[in-house]
Structure 1
């Protein structure tokens, strides 16, 4: 349904959309346990930007997947929704924010590794 709008070879994007919608919880009977926090959304954004860079996924495909998620989420009464368009629009270069977020999340691991180099 999402990919039928683009009029291109959808095979290249099928895996991405399926995985994204699954991680958003749309195809799960326990969808209310999926992405329901800011931190979980950030993990998802990190995956999206990584996949997008490696496989040249257009923003329109990502936005269409999120639109479907939001439409269904309204009927499912999700308390917290990730929003790619909002996240993407907040920053001039979202990939740099994503990389900083990954670094920030791993600061303690990096610090511990550096402190234990002599061992």
Structure 2
């Protein structure tokens, strides 16, 4: 494994595109990072659930919201608004949607989520 490794997010190893969703994944030795772009009107339960199934998102998320706004509701009833410039951690069991007219752009650092999110 090299001592330094870097990748250009504009040249991803994989791109997934469920409705109103673009997920670009780059692989590094032992890890993956994803850039997630969600268009206005995106909602997990409407855009990703048809691809993966289930009642709520079962992925764990660890990331940084670069821009946009998102509302998240956990299965236990906990709710939060996320905004550009914030880091976040979400446990499995939630729904989320874009708030407003701007796309949400985020970086996902949870390797398993980056490798599997929105894959049927």
TM over 0.5: no
More helix by share: 1
TM-score normalised by L of structure 2: 0.26
Structure having the higher Rg: 1
TM-score, with structure 1 as normaliser: 0.26
